[in-house]
Chains A and B, each alone.
Chain A
Amino acid sequence: MDALTTLPVLLPLLGAAASIGVGRWRNAQRAIGIVTLTAVTVLSAVALVRVDRGGTTAVAIGDWGAPVGITLVADRLALLVLVASMIMLLAVLVFAIGQPGAETHHVGFHPVYLVLAAGVALALLTGDLFNLFVAFEMMLMSSYVLITLGGRRDQIRSGMTYVIISLIASSLFLVTLGLVYAATGTVNMADLSGAVADLPDGVRSGIAVLLVVVFGIKAAIFPLFFWLPDSYPTAPTPVTAIFAGLLTKVGVYALIRTQTVVFPESTRPGTLLLVVAGLTMVVGVLGAITQYDIKRLLSFHIVSQIGYMVMGLGLFTVAGVAGAVLYIVHQIVVKTTLFMVGGLVELRAGTGEIDRIGGLARLEPVLAVLWMLPALSLAGIPPFSGFVGKLALVDAGFDAGEHAVVAVSLVVSVMTLFSMMKIWSNVFWEVPEVQPSPQAEQSTPFGRGLMVGSTAAVVVVGLAIALWAGPLHDLTLRAAEELLDGSTYRTAVLGP
């Protein structure tokens, strides 16, 4: 079991080292990347099944016991998000191999991508706050490189905003860590949950709000989201897709983890989170409606959808947190898919401006189907995964008596449908007016096959979520129960 918990972090790091070693041979790098990510996907799926049956496990790295040493904790929440993330990382890697551009031209792509995978895995599995900081830095450092890979002028411009905002968030995180340690004498999350309860109210709420701000910047919640729609769209498609699918969700994950495990029940900032959630949904979707570039439009939707997850957390009920977890899994898959299809459309049409494209449904029926399924899912149309996630959240909202935020969430999903239809009618209907882009000529039939194939595969994963929604929802309910209770987590880390 120890190996199952540590390998998802170790394997990608070793893979990255090997990938640098064989930098001259791109095919060797590709093989290493695919083999590593496949192995991690399988391992984390096995770990998820074992943890679901046998309960949360914790590993003390180097045998330095908690709360002083570094602990990795594998519970249902962490492993569920890990499995979804790893499947997406694998699919996007295949997509990147097919696409002419960043992956072929830069030796650094594969190693950096694997470090990103290791950072995501560590952020999900870590049991202490400082290690979470290190994981975020691993993840962000690779994202800085990936977003500016190519060094074009617009990439440097938007990358600069992204890097500086992330660095300010990181400095704030460090400050928070210093204050937490000064107040409690520990940074281990399980240990903190006991120590935080003894703190004076003011100090405790101060720390809680600081953590909300720090992770809020990473998760792009209102009013800390403005950097996201500006920086994501300029990166190459595979990079934008994986950022959209994973990075903000890891921020939400950290928010859920800290607010449930660390803080005692009476002091959770529920109302604050619900208000922020409502505003995030509305502002995000309004931003999306005004946009005419596929990737920018979708980037605003990332922000809007983050609101739903925060809403589930803000309810602080088992059903609410379970809904949030289900929604994270759904979003990781659907957001990645939409950006992949968006990239394919851009590649085919030579532009991302939706009023300059038309009639793709007739020219590229496969693309139209691949777009339609996740788009309807995002808007929450039955029977897709978005509907399942929204149903769980709305249900939980009614049970908790928070009617206002439920109403907001329903209105926003209608507006989401509207903006998805805007893309559909502009891009896929209308009279065909498409000039093939210079890039489209470079992509080989095999490369195109890889891109469409990997996109189709993630669409199927999205459908599978809807198909197995029942068992998955039960799993998230068990995960949420464990989170809100916190005692199994504490016992696993600190011993009985």
Chain B
Amino acid sequence: MTTLLAITAGVLFATGTYLLLGRQLSRLVIGIGLLGHGANILIVLSGGGRGRPAFVGNGTAEEMTDPLPQALVLTAIVITFAVTAFLLAMAFRSWLLNEDDDVEDDVEDRRVAAALAEAEDPS
């Protein structure tokens, strides 16, 4: 089970990174989401292997799973959720303003490109 989860986290990271390399905002949003999920699974895994749920019934400490990473991951999930919602709102706003889904070049890139074009074609 642990191995399966580790592989899942790896696949999520790989897919997320691949999506982040694109230029479309909708892909970026999904990519960020996947990276977040990968990180969350990693945190769940960091608590060790399977075991009985903590705070339910009685048992020795060794039988129980570590509850702390689970508490951490709940917080992380909520944060990822909020951030994804904000990112979607921004992507929508960008789509309203530009009517396309692409990430735009930054000011400096455009300035350098313009200077290059001018140098090659002085007219």
In the complex, what residues of B have CB within 8 A of residue A130's CB? 72, 75
Give the residues from 25 to 51 in chain A that come closer than 8 angstroms, CB to CB, to chain B. none
- The answer to whether B94 touches A182 (Cβ under 8 A) is no
Nearest A residue to B35, CB-CB: A171
Nearest A residue to B98, CB-CB: A153
Give the residues from 5 to 45 in chain B that come closer than 8 angstroms, CB to CB, to chain A. 16, 20, 25, 28, 32, 35-36, 38-40, 42-43, 45
Q: A134-B79, A168-B20 are in contact. Are A157 and B104 (CB under 8 A)?
A: yes
- The answer to whether A171 touches B32 (Cβ under 8 A) is yes
Task: Give, as a whole number of angstroms, the nearest-CB distance from B12 to chain A.
Answer: 11
Name which of A8-16, A158-166, A312-320 contacts chain B.
Answer: A158-166
- The answer to whether B90 touches A177 (Cβ under 8 A) is no
Give the residues from 80 to 101 in chain B that come closer than 8 angstroms, CB to CB, to chain A. 82-83, 86-87, 90-91, 93-94, 97-98
In the complex, what residues of B have CB within 8 A of residue A181's CB? 43, 46-47, 68-69, 72
Does B103 reach chain A (CB closer than 8 Å)?
yes
- The answer to whether B72 touches A144 (Cβ under 8 A) is no
In the complex, what residues of B have CB within 8 A of residue A179's CB? 42, 46
- The answer to whether A187 touches B87 (Cβ under 8 A) is no
- The answer to whether B42 touches A175 (Cβ under 8 A) is yes
In the complex, what residues of A have CB within 8 A of residue B76's CB? 133, 174
Residue of B69, B72, B104, B108 ringed by the most chain A CB atoms within 10 A = B72
Q: A167-B83, A167-B87, A177-B72 are in contact. Are A157 and B94 (CB under 8 A)?
A: yes
Does A151 reach chain B (CB closer than 8 Å)?
yes
B residues neighboring A (CB under 8 Å): 16, 20, 25, 28, 32, 35-36, 38-40, 42-43, 45-47, 66, 68-69, 72, 75-76, 79, 82-83, 86-87, 90-91, 93-94, 97-98, 103-104, 106-108
Give the complex CA separation of A156 and B91 in angstroms.
9
Counting from the closest, the 6 A-B pairs by CB-CB distance are A174-B39, A182-B46, A178-B42, A178-B43, A181-B46, A171-B35
Task: Give, as a whole number of angstroms, the nearest-CB distance from B73 to chain A.
Answer: 9
A residues neighboring B (CB under 8 Å): 68, 130, 133-134, 137, 141, 144-145, 148, 151, 153, 156-161, 163-164, 167-168, 170-171, 174-175, 177-179, 181-182, 185, 187, 229-230, 296
Task: Give, as a whole number of angstroms, the nearest-CB distance from B70 to chain A.
Answer: 11
- What's the count of A-B pairs with C-beta under 8 Å? 92
Give the complex CA separation of A360 and B4 in angstroms.
67
In the complex, what residues of B have CB within 8 A of residue A144's CB? 86, 90
In the complex, what residues of A have CB within 8 A of residue B47's CB? 181
Nearest B residue to A164, CB-CB: B28
Task: Give, as a whole number of angstroms, the nearest-CB distance from A1 to chain B.
Answer: 27
In the complex, what residues of B have CB within 8 A of residue A167's CB? 32, 83, 87
Task: Give, as a whole number of angstroms, the nearest-CB distance from A156 to chain B.
Answer: 5
Could you show 29 A-B contacts with beta carbons less than 8 Å apart? A134-B79, A137-B83, A141-B82, A141-B83, A141-B86, A144-B86, A145-B86, A151-B93, A151-B97, A156-B94, A156-B97, A157-B94, A160-B25, A160-B91, A160-B103, A161-B103, A164-B32, A167-B32, A167-B87, A170-B83, A171-B38, A171-B39, A174-B42, A175-B39, A178-B42, A178-B69, A181-B46, A181-B72, A229-B108
Nearest A residue to B66, CB-CB: A185
Give the complex CA separation of A171 and B42 in angstroms.
11
Give the complex CA separation of A253 and B108 in angstroms.
29
Task: Give, as a whole number of angstroms, the nearest-CB distance from B9 to chain A.
Answer: 9
Q: A156-B90, A230-B106 are in contact. Are A182 and B45 (CB under 8 A)?
A: yes
Contacting residue for A158 out of B69, B75, B86, B106, CB 8 A: B106
In the complex, what residues of A have CB within 8 A of residue B98's CB? 153
Task: Give, as a whole number of angstroms, the nearest-CB distance from A284 to chain B.
Answer: 14
Give the complex CA separation of A160 and B97 in angstroms.
13
- The answer to whether A134 touches B75 (Cβ under 8 A) is yes
Give the complex CA separation of A270 and B43 in angstroms.
29
Nearest A residue to B83, CB-CB: A167
- The answer to whether A160 touches B36 (Cβ under 8 A) is no
Residue of A137, A148, A167, A187 ringed by the most chain B CB atoms within 10 A = A167
Nearest B residue to A140, CB-CB: B83
Nearest A residue to B41, CB-CB: A178
- The answer to whether B32 touches A174 (Cβ under 8 A) is no
Give the complex CA separation of A156 and B93 in angstroms.
8
In the complex, what residues of A have CB within 8 A of residue B68's CB? 68, 181
Give the complex CA separation of A30 and B61 in angstroms.
52
Task: Give, as a whole number of angstroms, the nearest-CB distance from B22 to chain A.
Answer: 12
Nearest A residue to B86, CB-CB: A144
Nearest A residue to B32, CB-CB: A167
In the complex, what residues of A have CB within 8 A of residue B106's CB? 157-158, 161, 230
In the complex, what residues of A have CB within 8 A of residue B45's CB? 178, 182
- The answer to whether A163 touches B75 (Cβ under 8 A) is no
Task: Give, as a whole number of angstroms, the nearest-CB distance from A269 to chain B.
Answer: 23
Give the complex CA separation of A185 and B48 in angstroms.
9
Task: Give, as a whole number of angstroms, the nearest-CB distance from A123 to chain B.
Answer: 14
